[in-house]
Structure 1
Amino acid sequence: MIEKGKISYLEVTLIMYATVVTTAILYIPYVTAQHAKRDLWLSPIWGSLSGFLIVMIIVKLSRLFPGKTLIEYGELILGRTIGKIMAFIFLFFLLNDTAIAFREYGEFIESAFLHKTPIIFVTGSIALSCAIAVHGGIETIGRCAMIFLPIVLALYILIYVFLIPDLNVKNIFPIMQDGVMPSIKGSLAPHAWLSQFSLLSFLIPFLRKQEKVMKWGMLSVIASVLTMVFINLGNLFLFGGIISNIHFPVFEAARYISIGSFFEHIESIVIAVWVLGGFVQLSAFFYMLVIGTSQWLTLPSYKPFVLPIGFLIILFSFWSIPSFEDMIRGMGTTVPFYFLTVQLLIPILLLCIALIRRKWANEPLKKR
């Protein structure tokens, strides 16, 4: 195994939580509100179905092929040639997904804070920081998640606690005025984000213990969904129907905070703390891409590839996304189908073929 580090259940749960939630709380309220309107808080609940399903599939595959990632057991299931092609498709998707995550980070920082700073400097600086963490290994990323994420979560809870006097619960009514379909259409983006639990495959082999991985994976999905519901409700109570016109409602909510005349304009603090969560998320994506590529190429070490792949991520973050408007539009249209096709259908296909082959053969699957 090219990675010698080990992490705990809690660290895996927090890494996956950061991978899904960090950018979801920024972009999902706006994207979901385009379809769901006042029912946007229901959409993550429907989207949770993808999260629960993919965790069950990935955990089942990890038990059939202990100590292997999706890149490795793909060859055992499909054979060397087809397995390599499948793995390349998944890795190319992961490269694109990682580039999108870096671009989302850069667009938010530039739009909210560094208005005159070229976005390439924003994404380049975080990529260099993430490269240091990735070079340190999975244990480094796990420790960062343990330290940073409780701070990030506490801050976002406090934002809406401070805003309680300004929240209007009546904004939630009427519930499902136009039926359930608007909230289901709005769930496309949550489905896409929660399908990223397929990346759990890259973390399970590095767990110190394997027995309770299903339980902790499900807890991570539940925590992610509850966070999305909480954020969507908080934004709905504060902004009402105009939420569909606000790109970053969480950031705008922070601007509303005013306690007396001494505690206000805390949006800079919000950005600073959010960057900690963004660092964990981007480092996790970066690490999974590097590890997967090294396994696909059967290299003895992943560390020489950290900087070249980091450079490739930055290039793709501009090549694959022409503009901020295109990125936002894609989140509610084509991107969810793209994410679900790769992150849900490929694991389902692998599991079905593995179970069929196990049923037909009495001996374990061997690499061709």
Structure 2
Amino acid sequence: MDMLERGKISALQMAFMMNPTILATGLLLVPAITAKTAKQDLWLSPIWASFIGFLIVFVAFRLNKLYPKETMFEYSEKILGKIPGKIVGMILVFYYFHVTGIIVREYGEFVSGTFLHQTPMLVMFSTMIIVSSMAVYGGLEVIGRCSEMIVPILLVLYLVIFVMLLKDLDTKNFFPMLEKGLGPSLKGSIVLQSWFSEFILVSFFFPYLRDQDKGMKWGMISVFSVMFYMVLTNVMSLLLFGKLTASLTYPVMVAARYISIADFLAHLESIVMALWVAGTFIKITVFYYALVLGTAQWLKISDFRPIVLPIGFLLILFGVWSAPNLQVLSHFLSTSAAFYLLSIQVGIPVFLLIIALIKKKRQQMKGSITG
């Protein structure tokens, strides 16, 4: 099989790519969504949700061990047979179209809602897709290097914001802890599980790692760092806003407006904005790349570059179609989206792994009988 992607990335670059892929939209929306159900135990929710992330990285790694040079689009045909495999591929293509469209929409809604009130949404979608399509066109190495440059800065600056808020935090908001047992925090983790399940994207990168043996380790580290930042964000929102957290759309943005140190450091929301746009650029690019690569493999095209722009154009349309407004989008993301995302991002890979292991066992039994 002639590999579509000739580039190679390191496992560390993959970990950097996955970090904003989960966190970019997560950090903005997570505190409010979890606070609605988990109340003051919202800091526990990301910890429960991260188990899905660890599971998915493990499943992707096991599948990669069985089919080291192939992505989910390719080995689903080998595992299930040609036609069922093609159907799974088709579901994944449509799924990634839809989800990437939603991410583009979240980006547009956030920028127009907080900063560029007069700019048409279409302009925002188009500019982001143009920049992302350049990175996707450059291939995996370009995306890996972008992440390597951008992500460490994002993570450090985010910690700095947290440190600057320390003096305003009120630990009384933590209590009463586990007032209604573990139920509320577990319920609050359902939506987060769907975010963590996006780690299935590592299955698109494992075949192209220079150090495949380290893939699992760095995948797990990436899940852990996402969990750490989500817990940190939830703690920060809880201690700053208390019960108000659930009613704010973007708690982190409001928190950044809070910061003022000795009169000269104030209004840091523009920094949060810059951080967030950079993170979302990587998130959209990673999803966009998985969609382009997957579509090319599904259609058996020898080069994915010719379909980058047409798919980009369709993503702008999906961004427009995905929801009529922010309220509908938020409602979808905090309710039915979790089951939709989990059924595809956890259901399909786990199903594929089970079938693949059964087939392998049968072959070994056949081999031992004939041997």
- With the shorter chain as reference, the TM-score category is over 0.9
Instruction: Tell me the residue number matched to 1:232.
Output: 234
Q: Deviations over 1:267-306 (max 9, x none)?
A: 1122112211111111111111000000001111000001
Q: Deviations over 1:114-172 (max 9, x none)?
A: 11111111111111000011101111110110110111111211112111111111111
State the AA in 2 paired with 1:344.
V
Instruction: Tell me the residue number matched to 1:81.
Output: 83
User: Whole-Å Cα distance in 2 between the matches of residues 128 and 347 of structure 1?
Assistant: 31
Aligned partner of 1:100 among 99, 102, 112: 102
TM-score when normalising by structure 2:
0.96
CA drift of 1:241 comes to 0.9
State the AA in 1 paired with 2:354.
C
State the AA in 1 paired with 2:51.
L
State the AA in 2 paired with 1:236.
L
User: Whole-Å Cα distance in 2 between the matches of residues 357 and 66 of structure 1?
Assistant: 17
Instruction: Tell me the residue number matched to 1:201.
Output: 203
Q: CA RMSD in A?
A: 1.1
Instruction: Tell me the residue number matched to 1:165.
Output: 167
Aligned partner of 1:35 among 29, 34, 37: 37
Q: Is 1:263 the counterpart of 2:265 in the alignment?
A: yes
1:68 match: secondary structure: coil
State the AA in 2 paired with 1:110.
S
Instruction: Tell me the residue number matched to 1:284.
Output: 286
Instruction: Tell me the residue number matched to 2:316.
Output: 314
Counterpart mapping for 1:340-355 below 5 A: 340-355=342-357
Counterpart mapping for 1:1-368 below 5 A: 1-362=3-364
The alignment-based identity, stated in percent, is: 46
User: Whole-Å Cα distance in 1 between the matches of residues 41 and 91 of structure 2?
Assistant: 36
User: Whole-Å Cα distance in 1 between the matches of residues 35 and 310 of structure 2?
Assistant: 38
State the AA in 2 paired with 1:238.
L
Contact 1:188 1:332 in 2 (8 A): no
Consecutive unaligned residues in structure 2, runs of 5 or more: none
CA drift of 1:216 comes to 1.0
User: Runs (4+) of structure 1 moved beyond 6 Å?
Assistant: none
User: Whole-Å Cα distance in 1 between the matches of residues 114 and 57 of structure 2?
Assistant: 34
User: Whole-Å Cα distance in 2 between the matches of residues 297 and 180 of structure 1?
Assistant: 46
User: Whole-Å Cα distance in 2 between the matches of residues 270 and 210 of structure 1?
Assistant: 34
User: Whole-Å Cα distance in 2 between the matches of residues 246 and 36 of structure 1?
Assistant: 15
Q: Deviations over 1:65-110 (max 9, x none)?
A: 0110000000000111110001110121111111111111111111
Contact 1:30 1:246 in 2 (8 A): yes
Contact 2:105 2:322 in 1 (8 A): no
